[in-house]
Structure 1
Amino acid sequence: MHDFATALREPRLSPCCISRNGTRPDNPSCSVRCRPRSGRCRLAIVHLIDSTMLRFENLSKRFGERVIFQGLHHASGAGCVALCDENGSGKSTLLGILAGAIDADEGEVWLDGHSLRTDALKAKSALAYVPDDCMAYPFQTGRAFLELVASTKKTVVDARTLDFAHRFGLAPHLEKRFEQMSLGTRKKIFLTATMLGEPAVVIADEPGNGLDAAARAVLIDLFRNLAKDSAVFFSSHDLQLARACEAKVTSFADLGMAVCGVVGLRSPVTRPSMATSTGRDCARAWRP
């Protein structure tokens, strides 16, 4: 245990320097000077890397002269994480970056081990994304959207997915166009789509917005089920919802001082008083 804890804090060790079998490969692109570790420590580190589904390092974003955030780090496997922070802090911007809908100024995101920057097709195939407004396709019906997502994931809209749709009360709305739906109905359809294709990573921006008490209960059940096998990362201003989903609660301050992969590198985070967010292009995130 002491060796593993020391390795996690070791500022000289980089994830790129560890191979899948726990040894140090010859990596000419790595500028970090690495020291060998004990066998038990190396195996523990490799197990941590293998189980990580969502990881981002050194993420930074600014709009003009305004810094929204910088130096954000996070790594997680299966389970729920809720980003709870003040309005205007940049939550939607961060989630848009994690979904590939917004470009970061610096840093990198990995979804199920695939880089959004260098391997976007494989990264997005592991992703389910629920944006804040859920208005990607105004003229598309709810049923057509579910079928499109299923086709993208190389699967079908199965009975389990339809069961959640019915529990959300979507039966009368599936033939409506998105432009005819309320925010809550659009949100329910995008949430239902997270059941398709067994995504490794689920990103959801304020998933409880527009939902009544009955729909929130279905959402909680959905996230608890997804979290058994997927990394669910969502933003919310509602701590009660986060706790009901059995989520680990985090903030921008935590992400700015979080463990960087398996290293213990720490980086300060700039917290602006207000942050503006560009419109989310969720079609870009859904489309590989």
Structure 2
Amino acid sequence: MTAAGANPTVSGVDSTGPAIETHGLTKNFKARVAVSGVDLTVPRACAFGFLGPNGAGKTTLIRTILGLTSATSGTAQLLGHPMPRERTAALLRVGAIVEEPRFYPHLTGRENLQVVAAAREPESSVRIGPALARVGLAARADERVGAYSMGMRQRLGVARCLIADPLLLILDEPMNGLDPAGIQEFREMVAALVGEGRTVFLSSHLLDEVEKTCEMVAIIDQGRILTQGSVADIAGAGRRVVRLRCGAPAAAAIALKDHPSVQSVHQEEGVLEVTLSTTAGAETDEAVADVVRRLVAGGVQVYGVEGQRVSLEQRFLELTSRFETSA
């Protein structure tokens, strides 16, 4: 996949309002609630990650937003168009992969895109070549899709989205089957698409890749949105962990047992892992300084202090585990 290619800028961009917006969106399957009262806002021109455990409601929410299944209650808008009432107008500028992309295996990659383009505006056919080049399939475009690997079919799915010249791409697990080089190329392509003013809504279980690819994220579990916002803010809201190298870890653990900012202390191979109950910034800095002061005052030599970075994956596990416990 290449950053250059199909469309250097988005034509006819209407940048007013969110790309996706839902209020109280609910989808029930008889007695089972698959999506429950979801309020979701996806800004324009950003890469937005959508995360959740298996069965959390990710694909059901995507299908409901796209009008592929009807909502039980609540509202949804795509590019300012109420769904499903203005579905046709909205989907003219939306490209979507829902679950694994399907193609005619006896046709080539190019021929599959030609079938799709024939049902769209005439300009779609002109975009086929650039779209194939952009996803790195130009050299394999005239081979039958039946011989494609899973990663190649994923690339072809993205190319199929691009022939619509989309303002919004909704991609469900698009990195499945991609090798490390392919994932890096995909990440670069998403950045280029966002740079053109497009919005990429990316549902994935690859949390590390979402953290590297997306600026914003929402986490869903059991059909409910647990949190949404910038990746930095959500990861930064997680637990604060400091690793201390000290001369007497056992004595240090006892000394910190009743510290007001210390949530827990774990000792491993001469290193003390201290989990703080503070929020980010100055409060955490002051707590770390006070922890060190208390240890030194108690006669414990401190050789090193290292803050442990909280990843999106750690924050995801904290949120979903806590939700599971309280449910």
User: CA distance change for structure 1 residues 258 and 247 in 2, over 3 Å: closer, same or farther?
Assistant: closer
Conservation of the 8 A alpha-carbon contact between 1:134 and 1:183: no
Identify the residue that residue 105 of structure 1 maps to in structure 2.
72
| Structure 1 residues 107-128: Cα deviation after superposition (integer angstroms, max 9, x where no partner) | 2322211122111210110210
Establish whether residue 255 from structure 1 lines up as the match of residue 198 from structure 2. no
Identify the residue that residue 234 of structure 1 maps to in structure 2.
202
Identify the residue that residue 130 of structure 2 maps to in structure 1.
160
Conservation of the 8 A alpha-carbon contact between 2:170 and 2:200: yes
Conservation of the 8 A alpha-carbon contact between 1:206 and 1:237: yes
Conservation of the 8 A alpha-carbon contact between 1:146 and 1:157: no
Does 1 or 2 have the higher relative contact order (CA < 8 Å, sep 6+)? 1
Supply the AA of the counterpart residue of 1:249. V
Identify the residue that residue 40 of structure 2 maps to in structure 1.
74
Of 127-136 and 95-104, the range deviating more from structure 2: 95-104
242, 245, 268: which is aligned to 2:213? 245
Identify the residue that residue 38 of structure 1 maps to in structure 2.
none
Cα offset, 1:203, TM superposition? 0.5
| Structure 1 residues 146-197: Cα deviation after superposition (integer angstroms, max 9, x where no partner) | 22343415422255323214x2x463354314x4433222111011223223
Which has the greater radius of gyration?
2
58, 61, 75: which is aligned to 1:91? 58
Cα offset, 1:139, TM superposition? 4.8
Identify the residue that residue 157 of structure 2 maps to in structure 1.
190
Of 101-110 and 68-77, the range deviating more from structure 2: 101-110
Which of the pair is proportionally richer in strand? Answer: 2
Identify the residue that residue 265 of structure 2 maps to in structure 1.
none
Conservation of the 8 A alpha-carbon contact between 1:202 and 1:231: yes
Supply the AA of the counterpart residue of 1:84. L
Extract unaligned runs of 5+ from structure 2.
1-13, 230-321
Q: Give runs of aligned pairs for residues 131-210 of structure 1, distance below 5 A.
A: 131-135=98-102, 137-151=104-118, 152-155=120-123, 156-157=126-127, 159-165=129-135, 167=136, 169=137, 171-172=139-140, 174-177=142-145, 179-210=146-177
Aligned residue for 2:164, secondary structure, equals coil
Identify the residue that residue 59 of structure 1 maps to in structure 2.
25
User: CA distance change for structure 1 residues 174 and 129 in 2, over 3 Å: closer, same or farther?
Assistant: farther
User: CA distance change for structure 1 residues 139 and 109 in 2, over 3 Å: closer, same or farther?
Assistant: farther
Establish whether residue 117 from structure 1 lines up as the match of residue 87 from structure 2. no
Conservation of the 8 A alpha-carbon contact between 1:69 and 1:90: yes
User: CA distance change for structure 1 residues 54 and 134 in 2, over 3 Å: closer, same or farther?
Assistant: same
Give distance in 2, aligned partners of 1:170 and 1:251: 36
Supply the AA of the counterpart residue of 1:250. A
Conservation of the 8 A alpha-carbon contact between 2:105 and 2:144: no
Aligned residue for 1:50, secondary structure, equals coil
Give distance in 1, aligned partners of 2:129 and 2:149: 25
TM-score normalized with structure 1 length: 0.65
Cα offset, 1:136, TM superposition? 5.2
TM-score normalized with structure 2 length: 0.57
Give distance in 2, aligned partners of 1:272 and 1:145: 43
User: CA distance change for structure 1 residues 136 and 107 in 2, over 3 Å: closer, same or farther?
Assistant: farther
**How many residues are matched?**
212
